[in-house]
């Protein structure tokens, strides 16, 4: 194996990523080395590409970016047990500490010292990735590398959707990005009665209808009150999944919820957003903030659902060779793409 690899890195504090040559990572006793086969491009990668205020304040330069991946183990640290050479895997991109109260209680996803591969540490947009063995998630043969490469965002969708019981419930999802669309598929798989997804992008709404049985609503021309009446719902929605980070969408969701409804929020509103808390109080709404995935319960749940018939494959709309990464980022920026996957072995 060569000691050098191709990678995509943030080399300069401005918009863009650059193809570069980097040393193959050296692993420690508790790590594995993964040969990367496929990677997904996500919204975080777009923030880093555009070098917005969040990226400039968070991401060190230089840094190999990317955190959605599937590959196979090619080297194992001397302390690692339970993993084998050649084993196919994905992995949890949140690197946690082991000393916080949350971690010691087994609530790893809430560790305040969490660092992210491709954000704070060297990432997966490379031919090889070093990862703590603790973070490795083996892939069954039934899950191919394309799906393995998007398990990270699917995990966000699963974590958000399964925040509340969905069986027989009416579910409203605001934001038809890839994670919102996958959350709709999860809600349907989990037994929701009606699943409605809203957006202002007709391409994304059309994609949602292709991926799963969902009612897409363009809020520029349709009123949610009319949708509620059309679906013969006697009250509002029981469960809301806020995926857009748009303050107006959140207001629409609050208005459309039934008394005692529950909202899980994954979308991040920009800056400080005005909220009419009186409507939330008088409707007795429960609001839960969602960050990342539950480590590792979410991974267990989503792999089980995929093995039991959950199909999100159509959310992948574009595939490119890794060297054509600029075209992949352009497709994401266009706003019509679902998930974009880069092939590192083609």
> For all residues of the chain together, what is the average pLDDT?
96
Query: Is residue 44 annotated as a catalytic residue, yes or no?
Result: yes
Summarize pLDDT for 5-60 with one digit per residue, the tens. Answer: 999 999 999 999 999 999 999 999 999 999 999 999 999 999 999 999 999 999 99
Q: Are 305 and 155 contacting, i.e. CB atoms less than 8 angstroms apart?
A: no
Token code pair at residue 304: 């089980």
- Positions of E strands within 117-268: 128-132, 136-138, 170-174, 194-199, 215-218, 237-242, 257-265
pLDDT at 271: 78
pLDDT of residue 346: 78
Least confident range from 47-56, 267-276, 281-290: namely 267-276
**pLDDT the model gives residue 1:** 64
| pLDDT value at residue 34 | 98
pLDDT of residue 270: 79
DSSP 34: E
The CA–CA distances, whole Å, from 164 to 70, 151, 171, 203, 263 equal: 29, 21, 11, 29, 9
pLDDT tens, 106-148?
999 999 999 999 999 999 999 999 999 999 999 999 999 999 9
Residues 6+ apart with CB under 8 A from 105: none
Paired sense of beta strands 339-343 and 316-321, if any? parallel
**Are residues 94 and 107 in contact, defined by beta-carbon separation less than 8 angstroms?**
no
336 confidence band (pLDDT: 50, 70, 90): confident
Virtual torsion, Cα 118, 121, 122, 125, nearest 10 deg: -10
> What token pair was written down for 3?
């000691």
Mean pLDDT over residues 70-97, rounded? 98
Name the segment(s) of the chain with CATH classification 3.90.180.10.
Answer: 4-150+312-343
Instruction: Summarize pLDDT for 175-188 with one digit per residue, the tens.
Output: 999 999 999 999 99
| Residue 47 among the catalytic residues | yes
pLDDT at 172 over 70: yes
- The fold of 4-150+312-343 is Quinone Oxidoreductase; Chain A, domain 1 (3.90.180)
Q: 20, 21, 39, 47: which one is catalytic?
A: 47
pLDDT for position 269: 84
Superfamily of domain 157-289: NAD(P)-binding Rossmann-like Domain (3.40.50.720)
Residue 258 confidence (pLDDT): 97
Start-to-end CA span in the chain (Å) = 17
Select which of 20, 21, 44, 198 is catalytic: 44
Cite the residue boundaries of each domain of the chain with CATH code 3.40.50.720: 157-289
Tokens 């995926």 locate to 243
Q: What is the mean pLDDT of residues 149-155?
A: 98
Q: Are 237 and 261 in contact (CB under 8 A)?
A: yes
């Amino acid at each position: 194996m060569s000691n050098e690899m191709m990678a995509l890195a943030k080399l300069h504090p401005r918009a863009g990523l650059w193809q570069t040559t980097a040393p193959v990572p050296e692993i420690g006793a508790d790590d594995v080395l993964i040969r990367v086969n496929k990677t997904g491009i996500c919204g975080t990668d777009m923030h880093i590409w555009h070098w917005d205020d969040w990226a400039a304040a968070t991401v060190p330069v230089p840094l190999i970016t990317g955190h959605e991946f599937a590959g196979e183990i090619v080297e194992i640290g001397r302390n690692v047990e339970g993993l084998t050479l050649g084993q196919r895997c994905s992995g949890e991109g949140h690197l946690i500490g082991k000393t916080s109260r949350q971690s010691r209680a087994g609530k790893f996803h809430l560790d305040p010292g969490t660092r992210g591969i491709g954000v704070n540490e060297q990432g997966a947009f490379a031919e090889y990735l070093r990862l703590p063995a603790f973070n490795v998630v083996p892939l069954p043969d039934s899950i191919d590398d394309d799906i393995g490469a998007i398990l990270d965002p699917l995990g966000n969708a699963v974590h958000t959707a399964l925040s509340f019981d969905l069986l027989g419930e009416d579910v409203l999802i605001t934001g038809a990005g890839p994670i919102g669309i996958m959350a709709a598929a999860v809600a349907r798989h989990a037994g929701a009665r009606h699943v409605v997804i809203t957006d202002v992008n007709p391409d994304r709404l059309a994609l949602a209808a292709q991926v799963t049985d969902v009612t897409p609503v363009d809020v520029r021309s349709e009123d949610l009150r009319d949708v509620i009446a059309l679906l013969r719902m006697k009250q509002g929605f029981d469960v809301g999944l806020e995926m857009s980070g748009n303050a107006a969408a959140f207001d629409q969701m609050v208005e459309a919820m039934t008394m005692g409804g529950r909202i899980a929020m994954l979308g991040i509103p920009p800056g400080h957003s005005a909220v009419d808390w009186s409507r939330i109080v008088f409707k007795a709404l429960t609001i839960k903030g969602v960050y990342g995935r539950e480590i590792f319960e979410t991974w267990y749940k989503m792999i089980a659902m995929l093995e039991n018939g959950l199909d999100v494959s159509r959310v992948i709309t574009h595939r490119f060779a890794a060297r054509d990464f600029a075209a992949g980022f352009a497709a994401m920026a266009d706003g019509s793409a679902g998930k974009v996957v880069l092939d590192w072995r083609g």
